[in-house]
Structure 1
Amino acid sequence: MTDPASETAAPGNPDTWVVIPLYNEATVIGDVVRDLLPSFGKVVCVDDGSTDGSGGVAAEAGARIVTHPINLGQGAALQTGFEYALERGARYVVTFDADGQHRVVDAVAMLDRSRTDDLAIVFGSRFLDDRTKPGFLKKVVLKTAVAVTNWTTRTRLTDAHNGLRVIREDALRRIHLRQDRMAHGTEIVVQLGRTGLPYAEQPVEVIYSEYSKAKGQSLLNSVNILIDLIIR
């Protein structure tokens, strides 16, 4: 693992690190990092074996970079990011997707809620308001995945596989992800649920851009989540 960026203090929620799993998102990750930095001065991208120079683009935009020499999967990238943040004294971690689907304003609101309401975990949910337009089939698949996750984890979430989360240090220290594919989303819910710490959901908007649709992520990721839930 490498971390070529400096460790100097930065403005914007100095007790918080944004952790971004990064794999072949060179065309968008620069904008994602630059949008985050005014509100979150500490952003770490875990470059999970990218072959398109994503890590260099993210570093140029202002992110710290940790590199996996080979692709280990999103769960492994998140775990690496969590350990990196904890080693640097993080009080909170925000998990954020690299493809531009999340909004910084939602992340800020979730962090503020965690602080104000003394919540250890705040999960983003695209289904608590009508801003997100996932399409009928994707919505059906995601809702099915939520039902399966809630049944297997004994939780009560409306959107169990949203990559936007706020996790406080005491909860973060109890996460040890082993699932390397999309099933890590269920694994993290299981482990956070077992902490018994207070949590809540927050309405967020997920933006399905032409970029994400062109990559086939709009439906494929949802199907992969469901497959992983069934076979795990």
Structure 2
Amino acid sequence: MKLALIIPNYNHHQVIEQTLTQLAQFNLPCYLIDDGSQDETRYVLQEMADKFPWVTLIHHPFNRGKGAAVITGLRAAFADGFSHALQIDADGQHNLADIPNMIDCAQANPLALISGKPEYDDSVPKGRLYGRYITHFGVWIETLSFDIQDSMCGFRIYPLAATEALFQYESLGERMDFDIEIMVKLYWKKTPVIQIPTKVIYPENGISHFQGFQDNLRISWMHTKLFFGMLKRLPQKRASHHDNRHWSTMQERGSYWGIKLLAESYRFGGHWLCRAIMYPVIGYFFLTGSTARKASIDFLQQVQNISDSTKKISWQDSLNHFLSFGNAALDRIDAWCDRIKLSEVDFADRQILAKQIETGKGAVLLVSHLGNLELCRAISIHQKRVKVNVMVLTHHAENFNKVLQQLNPKSSLNLIQVNELDPSTAMLLQQKIEQGELVVIAADRTSANSQGRVIDLPFLGKPAPSLKALLFWLAY
């Protein structure tokens, strides 16, 4: 890897000498681009180029924008034979101590775009911070993924072969829209994106060149173009995507912070605020989740086949199916926040369970996903003498379960996380029962490793696999 530094500069002369002094330790050539600065800054930049022989100063005769300055630097570095370029802002926002980590990551992933993922302190303007979340949502739609967690950080290492190929065929925005657009379009071109957490500060008396109305208008127009670009690419993406993986091997699509935001909105605003945020997100998952959408329609069609209705299953039915899943997630949060009373939970043979609890003995509850496992929490809260253990296959939903447990760390409901159903699992559950605790098992939730250890039972007119090995071990 042959690495160079790229520093765009427009009227930032206060801290540029300090920045360059700190960068000298890395012994890297630097392209310092003066984007049409005023005389005072231009003179300072020339002094820096004279003082530091490893700095190459490039002048724009007039101000063209940050994006244009970065493009000039990237193309100059590529023309001079460099393979990668590290972009750094000139205003002292970036934590230069993170450069070695970024270089190590770029060396291990030479084809990837390595970008900082900002961690802000109290100096960040709240308007800028909230605006970033709007852009994040737009980028998630434009890329049909959560792979890009922050697209606005200007602290990154570019693979120059990929950027040069993009510049030859694409026209990019030259101002504050550049950082977002180039990352999305490189992602479209199959360039991997790796993000490294880095602290970002807004220095006191710092100069911002963000033009509120003009730049917001540019960014909005850019997102509009990217959205239609996504729609143009969507048929090809769908045609090339065919997913036959078992459900238990699929990772949840929601990011940790997205689920965390949903939980916090519920905590402070209740159902109405949570739904206001959740329903548009569910709509996004519905539009982009071809595998889940197909599974939903297939399931609803099977239900329709055994009913007397002749109504044809439509996309609206599938969307309602998605929304009902979201409402079930609200039930789960309700349960973890102690907002569901025992009297509100209805289940068969309630008296049988109550008598079993009275004896002080444990029991196994076999359930299906027609209900909601977390509603067992109402039993654990309002029946103080019993502890409820729910066996879950959590590898595919770690973020959601992590957020649930953060909502109420003192919960007496215990999630037993398993990835395999084997004798050791059965021994653990048997111990729980002997201690007078309840063990809840979803008998219709099999794992990818359960092949050959299930029994087929009739469901919706067809055989469906259910657990048999675990039940055998418990009985033994």
| Secondary structure, aligned partner of 2:205 | helix
- Cα distance in 2 for residues equivalent to 1:24 and 1:18: 19
Aligned residue among 100, 105, 127 for 1:113: 105
- Cα distance in 2 for residues equivalent to 1:103 and 1:223: 29
Q: Which amino acid aligns with 1:18?
A: L
Which residue number corresponds to residue 4 of structure 1? none
Q: 1:97 to 1:224 in 2, by over 3 A?
A: farther
CA contact (8 A) 1:182 1:224 kept: no
Aligned residue among 171, 184, 202 for 1:208: 202
1:48 aligns with 2:39: no
| Secondary structure, aligned partner of 1:17 | strand
Give the deviation of 1:23 after TM superposition. Answer: 0.7
- Cα distance in 2 for residues equivalent to 1:182 and 1:17: 22
1:141-164 deviations in whole A, cap 9, x for unaligned? 111122123323445322110000
Give the deviation of 1:41 after TM superposition. Answer: 2.0
Identity %: 24
| Secondary structure, aligned partner of 1:174 | helix
- Cα distance in 2 for residues equivalent to 1:201 and 1:41: 22
Higher relative contact order (CA 8 A, sep 6+): 1
Aligned residue among 150, 155, 162 for 1:164: 155
Which residue number corresponds to residue 180 of structure 1? 174
Give the deviation of 1:84 after TM superposition. Answer: 0.7
Would you identify which runs of 4 or more consecutive aligned residues in structure 1 move more than 6 Å? 221-224
Equivalenced residues, count: 213
1:27 aligns with 2:49: no
CA contact (8 A) 1:75 1:184 kept: yes
Which consecutive residues of structure 2, in runs of 5 or more, have no partner in the other structure?
223-476
Give the deviation of 1:197 after TM superposition. Answer: 2.5
Give the deviation of 1:17 after TM superposition. Answer: 0.6
Aligned residue among 191, 200, 204 for 1:197: 191
Which consecutive residues of structure 1, in runs of 5 or more, have no partner in the other structure?
1-12
Q: 1:61 to 1:178 in 2, by over 3 A?
A: farther
Q: Which amino acid aligns with 1:186?
A: I
CA contact (8 A) 1:18 1:40 kept: no
CA contact (8 A) 2:151 2:179 kept: yes
- Cα distance in 1 for residues equivalent to 2:166 and 2:202: 29
Q: From the CA coordinates, give the structure whose radius of gyration is larger.
A: 2
Equivalences for 1:1-232 in 2 at 5 Å? 15-51=2-38, 52=40, 53=42, 54-62=44-52, 63-127=55-119, 134-156=124-146, 157-176=148-167, 178-212=172-206, 215-216=207-208, 220=210, 226-232=216-222
- Cα distance in 1 for residues equivalent to 2:34 and 2:145: 31
- Cα distance in 2 for residues equivalent to 1:178 and 1:100: 26
| Secondary structure, aligned partner of 2:63 | coil
Q: Which amino acid aligns with 1:185?
A: D
Higher helix fraction (1 or 2)? 2
CA contact (8 A) 1:174 1:192 kept: no
Q: 1:216 to 1:92 in 2, by over 3 A?
A: closer
- Cα distance in 1 for residues equivalent to 2:195 and 2:211: 21
- Cα distance in 1 for residues equivalent to 2:47 and 2:166: 29
CA contact (8 A) 1:138 1:222 kept: no
Give the deviation of 1:228 after TM superposition. Answer: 2.3
Give the deviation of 1:216 after TM superposition. Answer: 4.6
- Cα distance in 1 for residues equivalent to 2:131 and 2:159: 30
Q: 1:225 to 1:150 in 2, by over 3 A?
A: farther
Give the deviation of 1:131 after TM superposition. Answer: 5.8
| Secondary structure, aligned partner of 2:20 | helix
The Cα RMSD (Å) is: 2.4
With normalisation by structure 1, the TM-score equals 0.81
